[in-house]
Chain A
Amino acid sequence: MMSEQLTEDFRREPPTPLAPRPLNLPAAREATLSNGLGVVVVEQERLPLVSFRLAFRSGDSSDPRELPGLTDILTSMLVEGTETRNSRQIAEETARYGATLNAGASSDQTTVAASTLSAYTDEVFELLADATLRPTFPEDELALAKDNAQQNLIAQRAQPSFLASEALARVLFGEHPYAVVSPTPESIDAMARDRLLEFHRAKFSPSNAVLFVVGDVRRDAVLARAEQLFGAWTAPAVEEPHFPAPPARGERVAYLVNRPGSAQSNIIVANLAIRRTHPDYFPFLVMHTILGANASARLFMNLREEKGYTYGAYTQLDARRHAGSFRATAEVRTAVTGASLKEMFYEYERIRAEDVSEKELTDAKAYLTGVFPIRLETQEGLVDQLVQQRMHGLPDDYLETYRDNVQRVTREEVRRVANLYVTPERAAIVVVGDAAEVREQIAPYAARVEDFDAGKK
């Protein structure tokens, strides 16, 4: 607006890029310890730092049916006491090195992670091994963890995003363990030390895990130290679980979660989709990028930049080990709940009915190949990529070929996967909001509107 000055011609068009600069992918080399544990090491001397991650190929979905939350509570308790250290000693020792040590689980993975200045590599490596291999799950610490878990169960119900993910998982996955996103008061009550010890022995097996070490280390030294710390660890192999299939969906149903007084409606439109190893992954990834992955994609441009319904509207490609889903999400003011569904389904129909443009395809590929190296700037980002590759059993050259795999996707494939997986006629709609205000708005967009009650199985 302040342009009294003459426009300079060189500003009219975006500038041409400089010469590309090569990405030298760090070399990740894997070795196997005497007990079968795989160890992946990347030597990176750039900064005096080391990152460790020990990842197991099983997570919350392996919980016994009657004990949802077992893996979570077990994992959180790895740092609450070992044969030689109590909870406070673990916390204080880790902090004294300026290091971090934490453990967590997702649906298909359990990880114990540590990071430190390289000066304390040996010490922190030992802490990681101690927490992983020799937890004792002390009774008093377990009682406290259970008590706090009960409070967290109550607290999380204040978050509309939690209520939405809870309802969606339930309706989309049915009897499949992905349906469960949190423990129950009864399952927390039932957690007992014996169960934790037994489950730890059964699931924490070297055959089920890979150890990643990235940073200012020497590979030989890491392998020697790993052999000392983990070499004697043995446990029976963990069998790949078999889960009931998620229910097939035949019609579009809306599930309404009543949250009186809500300032917004949280909307999710979802379909079952693919596993992470499915051959359609790359075309799907490109389609998702065009439809809703970021703030330049169709959903965001429509619902926010054109309509002003929301702060953000996105799609999510959630391709996991045993099943997957594809979702469109937006948090919108109550009055435009129906109007937002209309636009979401408009975009769903459009990407199925018409080929994406050549420019959209090129742009999506540029996005995916361009942000790839940005993720490799940090040790944590690099480990994330390596974990994904090893945990899902993706090809050894996955990182090397990632950008080529993106580049190979065609417009025809994008349209094909859109028609296969973006299926509005079978979508589940979840809305968390003020039911009295939104029920009528939702009704036109679904065969029926069901009230979702989390308390009912």
Chain B
Amino acid sequence: MSSTLTLPHVPVEQFTLVNGLRVVFSEDHSVPVVSVAVFYDVGSRNEREGRTGFAHLFEHMMFQGSENVPKAGHFQYIFNNGGTMNGTTSSERTNYFETLPASQLPLALWLESDRMRSLKVTQENLDNQRDAVKEEKRLNYDNRPYSNAFLRLNELVYRNPANAHSTIGSMEDLDDATIEDVREFFRVYYAPNNAVLTVVGDFDPAEARALVERYFASIPAQPRPAPPDVSEPPEVAARYELYRDPFAQLPALMLGWKVPPRRTPDFYALSSASDLLLDGDSSRLYQRLVKGEESVVAIQGGLGERRGPSTLYVFAIPKPGHTTEEIRATIREEVERLAAEGPTAGETEKLRNTLLNDAVRGRQSTLYRAQRLAEFTLYDGDPHLLNTELERYLAVTPEAIKAAVGRYLLTDNHSLMEVAPAHAAESAEEEPAPAAAEPAGEPDQPGSPPPQIPPKPPAEPPPATQTETVTESSRQ
């Protein structure tokens, strides 16, 4: 019956300003709110050596005032006019967004345009936000179990530093960031022709278009920055590392595979494979490990989607008496079985209906649509993908899943991280034997914080691969 379901069409109107700013509108008059998103084509993948964490630190600076908006004025204007807002940074991009009562669309455009054209930076504000970002790093990584181990896993998966380093960066690099870095980064990356603006919700398109022209058209374009090199060397080596976690109470196991970029045929197939293996209580690994063998307390994982080589990762917490080796062997068996047999008919139906349900449910929110439209426009030049991309996922065949699993998940191109609670490891005589994988070729980096993933164990999903300006406060 799901085959008769037609996905509600999201209207898309797109145009480009003379300065190269790409703009997408989508009207929806259900609720009197409007969401505005601005995505800049810069993320941690653009950071140079010695400046890890800079794209995210810069994101914080975008809230520190511009020619006509005082420091922290952005927070004040949005909240004090009944809106919500944030900014986030990932490997791929930096985004800024707000949802407001529909009547406040001009305010959002005024604020976003003012910082795009005339960001103000002072040493005092840079020092202040550097401090805030360091506390963000301590809160979300350094003071938590598993988070830094997850970041470390990423450094094992990727060989290219542009992909391998974290968005939050290192304390040392944050310390080294200068005012000149901020000015240069703004000039190079925060130009209208390196950005996308989307507006979704209850507005009049003619009125909105006039406002967008008024606020954004006079911002000068800049030479387009060269895209970063995110290519990865071909390799077959399996990697292994033991991570002693100062806060973990239970050991953990993390696996990462390097997989093809988003929007490639194999990526769609691996997305389905990842769902079959890891998505929810009906998934194969949950049913096998949590239920059948009762060897792990929890298991989670999924795809980290990128424009370049992406990642599929698994995070599991073994139970006492069960070894990493044993759990890894079971995971391997399940992967082999999927490669050999493909999904069952019931699983195919599940994949289809889950894709449909998730697609429709996500669209309830104007902010979700604004972000997805911006992403497709920025990465692919085509906002209509919000309407059509689902077809690509639905078109994945059982044969394609088998082939992709065989090609990418049954090779040595993976990394294994064992996390040992530091307090327990100290008393143990030896490190756990490396499982079948070879020791990592990666040199230890004493003094620098190891890598991270962020789950709050058992019941919580792994970590965000992005950082944001503020945490959403409690609502009443």
Q: Residues of A at under 8 Å CB distance from B?
A: 1-3, 5, 7-8, 10-23, 46-49, 79, 87-88, 91-92, 94-99, 115-117, 119-120, 144, 147-148, 151-152, 154-160, 261-264, 285, 288, 292-296, 300-301, 304-306, 308-312, 314, 316-317, 319, 331-333, 362-364, 366-371, 373-379
B132 touches A21 (CB 8 A): no
Q: A97-B353, A152-B458, A308-B132 are in contact. Are A3 and B317 (CB under 8 A)?
A: no
A304 touches B132 (CB 8 A): yes
A216 nearest CB across to chain B (Å): 10
Residue of B nearest to A372 (CB): B82
A367 touches B80 (CB 8 A): yes
Most buried by A among B71, B117, B132, B139: B139
Main secondary structure of the interface of A (DSSP, over half): mixed
Residues of chain A lying within 8 A (CB to CB) of residue B76: 296, 363
Residues of chain B lying within 8 A (CB to CB) of residue A158: 144-145, 247-250, 457
Total inter-chain residue pairs, C-beta < 8 Å: 287
Q: A18-B106, A144-B291 are in contact. Are A263 and B138 (CB under 8 A)?
A: yes
Residue of A nearest to B219 (CB): A5
A3 touches B117 (CB 8 A): yes
Q: Which of B407-460 contact A (CB under 8 A)?
A: 456-459
Partner pick for B117 among A2, A18, A160, A304, CB 8 A cutoff: A2
B77 touches A14 (CB 8 A): yes
Query: B160 an interface residue at 8 Å Cβ cutoff?
Result: no
Q: A308-B132, A312-B471, A373-B32 are in contact. Are A155 and B361 (CB under 8 A)?
A: no
Residues of chain B lying within 8 A (CB to CB) of residue A49: 357, 360-361, 364
Q: Which of B42-87 contact A (CB under 8 A)?
A: 67-68, 71-72, 75-84
Q: Write 11 A-B pairs (CB below 8 A) sorted by A numbering.
A: A22-B32, A23-B31, A49-B357, A79-B281, A88-B291, A92-B282, A157-B249, A158-B247, A301-B72, A333-B134, A363-B80
Q: Residues of B at under 8 Å CB distance from A?
A: 1-2, 4-5, 8, 30-33, 67-68, 71-72, 75-84, 99-107, 109-110, 113-114, 117-121, 127-136, 138-139, 142-145, 183, 186-187, 202, 207, 214-215, 218, 220, 246-250, 280-282, 287, 290-291, 294, 297-298, 317, 319-320, 346, 349-350, 352-358, 360-361, 363-366, 456-459, 469-471, 473-476
Residues of chain B lying within 8 A (CB to CB) of residue A316: 474
B5 touches A117 (CB 8 A): yes
Residues of chain B lying within 8 A (CB to CB) of residue A306: 128
Most buried by A among B75, B114, B248: B75
Residues of chain A lying within 8 A (CB to CB) of residue B220: 5
A159 nearest CB across to chain B (Å): 6
B250 touches A154 (CB 8 A): yes
B138 touches A1 (CB 8 A): no
Q: A117-B5, A117-B356 are in contact. Are A370 and B101 (CB under 8 A)?
A: yes
Residues of chain B lying within 8 A (CB to CB) of residue A304: 132
Partner pick for B218 among A8, A285, A371, A378, CB 8 A cutoff: A8
A366 to B358, CA, bound (A): 33
B118 touches A2 (CB 8 A): yes
B110 touches A11 (CB 8 A): yes
Partner pick for B187 among A2, A312, A362, CB 8 A cutoff: A2
Residues of chain A lying within 8 A (CB to CB) of residue B114: 11
Residue of A nearest to B349 (CB): A96
Most buried by B among A16, A304, A319: A304
A155 to B146, CA, bound (A): 11
B81 touches A370 (CB 8 A): yes
